[in-house]
């Protein structure tokens, strides 16, 4: 399985780095492949808190796509809100979604999925500050830390992306692998996960 993590200027750094750490460990123990990607090709990103890092590839044809958030609730000039207003990213997400095993998000990355038309009638969550807004897109809001609705997997604010990433590892490769990674990271898992029927 190849997971691509879509990054952009204004992204919340922890939204990216937490899951990246989990899946980097998983890539050493399983067949999982991982890449940070920019929408239009390789990109140097400046995060919400000014951390600069590179995505060495552009968005391709992954098995799964993960979308972080940042800059939504304060309507920042760079971040998920700005990307939604631009419309290019959400159109590409909508186009790619039917080909994916799953699409996931942390924090207000869920709002980009909402703008792409992917949450209507689906169980989902986001940062609690955007819960009401997510519901306006027709999502069946869940207050759980991680919400697994099959091909749509969303998580709450910031650090919950770590739990989403561990949940995905458990779903794909088993609980022993996921728990082993959590132990390596000295991280206590939060198993507040809603799994749809």
Given the residues 5, 36, 67, 107, the one annotated as active site: 107
Active site residue 29: no
**CATH number for the domain running over 2-195:** 3.40.50.880
φ and ψ of 104, to 5 deg? -135, 165
Q: What is the mean pLDDT of residues 149-174?
A: 97
The model's pLDDT over 12-33, given as tens digits with 9 standing for 90+, comes to 999 999 999 999 999 999 999 9
The predicted pLDDT at position 135 comes to 98
Q: What is the mean pLDDT of residues 107-132?
A: 98
Could you tell me the CA-to-CA distances from 151 to 3, 41, 130, 184, 196 in Å, in that order? Answer: 13, 25, 22, 28, 10
- Residue spans per domain, the chain: 2-195
Whole-angstrom Cα distance, residue 100 to residue 59? 13
Burial class (CB in 10 A: 0-12, 13-18, 19+), 116: buried
Whole-angstrom Cα distance, residue 73 to residue 82? 11
Q: What is the mean pLDDT of residues 57-68?
A: 98
């Amino acid at each position: 399985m190849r997971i691509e993590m879509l990054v952009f200027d204004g992204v919340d750094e922890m939204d990216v780095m937490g899951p990246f750490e989990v899946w980097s460990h998983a890539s050493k123990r399983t067949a999982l492949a991982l890449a940070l990607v920019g929408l239009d090709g390789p990109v140097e990103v400046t995060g919400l808190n000014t951390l600069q890092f590179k995505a060495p590839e552009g968005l391709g044809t992954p098995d799964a796509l993960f979308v972080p958030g940042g800059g939504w609730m304060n309507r920042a000039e760079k971040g998920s809100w700005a990307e939604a207003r631009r419309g290019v990213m959400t159109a590409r997400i909508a186009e790619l979604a039917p080909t994916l095993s799953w699409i996931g998000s942390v924090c207000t990355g869920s709002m980009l999925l909402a703008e792409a038309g992917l949450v209507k009638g689906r169980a989902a969550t986001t940062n609690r500050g955007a819960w009401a807004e997510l519901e306006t897109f027709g999502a069946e809001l869940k207050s759980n830390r991680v919400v697994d609705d099959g091909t749509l997997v969303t998580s709450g604010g910031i650090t919950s992306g770590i739990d989403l990433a561990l949940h995905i590892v458990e779903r794909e490769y088993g609980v022993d692998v996921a728990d082993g990674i959590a132990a390596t990271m000295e991280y206590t898992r939060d198993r507040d996960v809603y799994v749809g029927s």
